[in-house]
């Protein structure tokens, strides 16, 4: 019985890490698209998760809500913070400084 519990716990951990990596890739792509659309430079490898919580979607299902931060530059010599919010695996919004972009 203990072995089954340990196996299930390990499987849950593997799923969570895999889901988190997939969410980071989604946030990375959304940040890149938003920067291209706004005409600013996306600074590579700056996407990092800043918050994780539970939230309900429009159908009332409980999903992970992840907030990611990234950096971009308007002139090439400055750094500004942007944010991406995901609910489940879907991008809810992207924030570039004071400019809000919604998918």
Concatenated DSSP letters of 10-21: HHHHHHHHHHHH
Domain count, the chain: 1
Q: Smallest Cα–Cα separation from 66: which of 80, 46, 52? A: 52
Q: Helix or strand or coil: residue 27?
A: helix
Neighbour tally for 21: CB within 10 Å: 10
Q: What is the pLDDT of residues 4-25, one digit of tens each?
A: 999 999 999 999 999 999 999 9
DSSP letter, residue 72: E
Position 60 scores a pLDDT of 93
Contact 93, 85 (CB under 8 A): yes
pTM reported for the whole predicted model: 0.86
Low-confidence residues of the chain: pLDDT under 70:
98-103
Find the domain containing 7 and state its range. Answer: 2-101
pLDDT at 76: 78
């Amino acid at each position: 019985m203990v072995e089954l519990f340990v196996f299930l716990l390990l499987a849950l951990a593997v799923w969570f890490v895999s889901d988190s990596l997939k969410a980071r890739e989604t946030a990375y792509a959304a940040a890149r698209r938003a920067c291209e659309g706004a005409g600013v430079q996306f600074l590579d490898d700056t996407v990092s998760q800043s918050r994780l919580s539970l939230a309900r979607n429009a159908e009332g299902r409980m999903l992970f809500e992840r907030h990611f931060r990234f950096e971009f530059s308007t002139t090439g010599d400055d750094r500004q913070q942007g944010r991406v919010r995901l609910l489940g695996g879907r991008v809810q919004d992207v924030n570039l400084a004071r400019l809000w972009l919604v998918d």
